[in-house]
Structure 1
Amino acid sequence: MILVANAAALAALWPRGEDQLVIYSMMGPARALTAAFTARTGIPVTYINLEGGPMQARLYAEGDHPRWTVAWFTGEAPMAALDATGLLARHAPDDPEWPDAPFTDLARSLLPADRAWLPTRIGLGAAFVAAAGSPAPGRSWQDAFLHARAPGLLSPVSSGGAYPVLATILAVATGSGRSLLLGSRSRLRIFPSSSLLFEALRSGDVSFAILPSETAFNLRRRDRRLSVTLPVPNTVLPDVIGVSPHASPTDRKLAAQFIRFVLSAPGQALLGRDTAAALGWPPVTNAVPDTTLPTLPVDLVHLPAGLWGARQDEEIGWFEREVAR
């Protein structure tokens, strides 16, 4: 059984059967991946997918009485927040039930000290996406902001998924990220929704858009007239997966099987083709990178998940007052 639920459907409760894995996801639909897992293991999957805000609200509302076993997100900040409130299982390095995959050096550097989550894909905090007919921006933050006719941004005020881009600009943009945003404020175009930003990009109303790399590469997959440039320096924005501390021993074993499958070479291949949010680089050495992606840059910064998650309201408030006004 594979179920992709929307917000309306979540009002109804479903009975928990034996040996059923319940996944709460912000990753987008993953039908082929979950179907392949069920075919291989015989374990049925209930897969609930929502955007960040509604999903986080649901997780905290369920609290210590969760209906989920696995949580799967883009970005570490939501996981760090769950972990800080005791809503993620923590694992010792030698825990035999917690998967130990052949991680790349970069992926292994992302593992939290309490091993409460694992990376399932590597993305970047920002990418420049230009439409056909628009000159592709260079890789320099300074040049992109100061010389572009009309850079486009998704508003972090209206979309939680836009915060990683803002955090990347503020943390690593050459010079001062705040100065770049303020200096380009008269030309910067800010959109309340992804659909409006994408339409402006395709029509040429913006010269380029700044998006998380996974979103950028998925856009290019659908429209080959778009070009993607990865600015440097950049931040790491991994997809991460964790398990409820309230899961039964049986459910923890089911979760471990699913995570091992996702981190396997077949799982990674399916992940790159199937899950909309996961068009990134494999975190494991036994998987083949997507040939449509460039080489993963080396000039990367790993932002402390807890720190930047805690600063989210402050930074978005500053953006709303000073840039979006």
Structure 2
Amino acid sequence: MMDGRINARALAAVAAAAAAAVALAGCGASAQASSAGTSSAGTGAEVPLVVYSAQGYDSDVTKAFSAATGIPVKLVDDSTGPLLTKVQAEKNNPQWGLLWVDGDTAFAALDQQGMLAPYTPSAALTAAGQQLGPSDHSYVPVSTTVMAAVIYNAARTSTVPASYDDLATAPYKGKVGMNDPSQSGPTFPFVAGMMNQLGGQSNGMAAGEAYFSKLKSNGLHVYPTNGDTLHALETGQIDYGIIQSSAAAGEVLKAKKSATFDPKVAYLPKATLLPGVIGIDKKAPAEVQAEARQFVDYVLSPAGQKVMQSADPHGDSLYWPIVPGVQAPAALPAMPDYQRIDPAFWGPLEGQINTWFDSAIK
């Protein structure tokens, strides 16, 4: 387990500047597929790179990448849970070339199944970013958020939790909501993080199950994704939401504060570090893998980071960078104290833990 703070970053120049595109793709949006770019410029590639992504800026990034390289991209955007289910269903005949979602636990599990092609990007990462990458280079971290931020409606309550245990006590009864880890990719690392924090790898599952059972007994509400939990907060169904830091920061930025709604954010000890990660399909044709490697380098380039930080200003763009010289958005606080869980241990347990959560807590 590693605690610390992420500092500001700088990057050795990688890719040519690209025109940012339009049309944001929501992190929790329903599945959609679109083509970006043509084969008339750059490499002249005829085979499209199929990108499975749950990032709010993915449409803009894929279009900017195509504009910069001439590589056509077919984007399939959905929530993380359905995308991971799709990847597993296609295990023997993958339809994707590149997967881009938040949370390294899922990638560690895919790596253990031999599904990822290793790649070491040409770009430099900060010291903190380098520590997030696996020793076999099977996937590449490209950003960080934390899970969870506790967002609360200060217009309805003046009680602010100081610990996760507080959320299971009487003042919070029936007032707390969180996402379903089977649907919301960032939420499984939070659940695993609580287990890790409460009992470590030896007793974490039992301790975590006891904790979430206490939350349920205290009236916990479970919603599919960040957006649904935020809607419940906005409409007064709950007063506290356990969500991803980027979604919480975005809600504070865009909220129309009133006498009945005034969102504020608290970070409890300790948040779980949540890397944004890219993996390449090991079974993809060599040409597609080459395109995917170019995509990784583009994302970590100044041009790619610029699109990432501007395309979803009230959502996924609110991340702490791990690229040297790239500054975190002004709307973000300093990185809160965090823990890093071992993705190789917790990743393979995702199916088991999510099944338990949906049967016992949801």
Pairwise TM-score range, normalised by the shorter structure: 0.7 to 0.9
Q: What secondary structure sits across from 2:274 in the alignment?
A: coil
What amino acid is aligned across from residue 305 of structure 1 in structure 2? P
Residue 61 of structure 2 corresponds to residue 40 of structure 1: no
Q: What secondary structure sits across from 1:100 in the alignment?
A: coil
State the match for 1:300 in structure 2: 338
CA shift digits 1:122-152 (9 cap, x unpaired): 0112110012413362443234443435222
Instruction: Quote the Cα distance in structure 1 between the aligned partners of 2:79 and 2:143.
Output: 18
CA shift digits 1:27-60 (9 cap, x unpaired): 2452222222222222222111122333223323
Instruction: Quote the Cα distance in structure 1 between the aligned partners of 2:182 and 2:101.
Output: 20
Q: Pick from 172, 176, 188: which aligns with 1:163?
A: 188
1:162 positional shift? 3.1
Instruction: Quote the Cα distance in structure 2 between the aligned partners of 1:320 and 1:247.
Output: 33
Are the equivalent residues in 1 in contact too, given 2:57–2:317 (CA < 8 A)? no
Q: Pick from 251, 272, 284: which aligns with 2:323?
A: 284
What amino acid is aligned across from residue 125 of structure 1 in structure 2? M
TM-score, scaled to structure 1: 0.82
State the match for 1:310 in structure 2: 348
State the match for 2:237 in structure 1: 205
Q: What secondary structure sits across from 1:125 in the alignment?
A: strand
Are the equivalent residues in 2 in contact too, given 1:129–1:229 (CA < 8 A)? yes
Residue 134 of structure 2 corresponds to residue 100 of structure 1: no
Residue 81 of structure 2 corresponds to residue 57 of structure 1: no
Instruction: Quote the Cα distance in structure 2 between the aligned partners of 1:261 and 1:69.
Output: 16
CA shift digits 1:268-321 (9 cap, x unpaired): 221123254452111111212111101112x32221213212223443454456
Instruction: Quote the Cα distance in structure 2 between the aligned partners of 1:269 and 1:291.
Output: 14
What amino acid is aligned across from residue 221 of structure 2 in structure 1? I
Say if 1:186 and 1:246 are closer, same or farther in 2 by CA, change over 3 A.
closer
Q: What secondary structure sits across from 1:124 in the alignment?
A: strand
Say if 1:104 and 1:51 are closer, same or farther in 2 by CA, change over 3 A.
same
Q: What secondary structure sits across from 1:47 in the alignment?
A: strand
State the match for 2:4 in structure 1: none
1:201-240 correspondence to structure 2 within 5 Å: 201-223=233-255, 225-240=262-277
Are the equivalent residues in 2 in contact too, given 1:29–1:49 (CA < 8 A)? no
1:232-251 correspondence to structure 2 within 5 Å: 232-251=269-288
Q: What secondary structure sits across from 1:238 in the alignment?
A: strand
CA shift digits 1:199-249 (9 cap, x unpaired): 331133322111122332233333264212222212111110011223334
Q: Pick from 135, 138, 142: which aligns with 2:165?
A: 142
State the match for 2:218 in structure 1: 187
Instruction: Quote the Cα distance in structure 1 between the aligned partners of 2:32 and 2:53.
Output: 16
Say if 1:179 and 1:22 are closer, same or farther in 2 by CA, change over 3 A.
closer
Instruction: Quote the Cα distance in structure 1 between the aligned partners of 2:66 and 2:32.
Output: 26
Say if 1:106 and 1:161 are closer, same or farther in 2 by CA, change over 3 A.
closer
Q: What secondary structure sits across from 2:333 in the alignment?
A: coil
What amino acid is aligned across from residue 69 of structure 1 in structure 2? G
Q: What secondary structure sits across from 2:116 in the alignment?
A: coil
What amino acid is aligned across from residue 273 of structure 2 in structure 1? V
Say if 1:317 and 1:32 are closer, same or farther in 2 by CA, change over 3 A.
closer
State the match for 1:13 in structure 2: none
Residue 105 of structure 2 corresponds to residue 77 of structure 1: yes
State the match for 2:10 in structure 1: none
Instruction: Quote the Cα distance in structure 2 between the aligned partners of 1:36 and 1:157.
Output: 31
State the match for 2:37 in structure 1: none
Give 5+ residue unaligned stretches, structure 2.
1-20, 35-44, 257-261
TM-score, scaled to structure 2: 0.75
Are the equivalent residues in 1 in contact too, given 2:105–2:189 (CA < 8 A)? no
Moved more, 106-115 or 142-151: 142-151
Q: Supply the RMSD in Å over aligned alpha carbons.
A: 3.2
Identity of aligned residues (%): 28
State the match for 1:172 in structure 2: 197
State the match for 2:134 in structure 1: 112
Q: Pick from 144, 149, 158: which aligns with 1:127?
A: 149
What amino acid is aligned across from residue 187 of structure 1 in structure 2? N
Instruction: Quote the Cα distance in structure 2 between the aligned partners of 1:158 and 1:241.
Output: 19
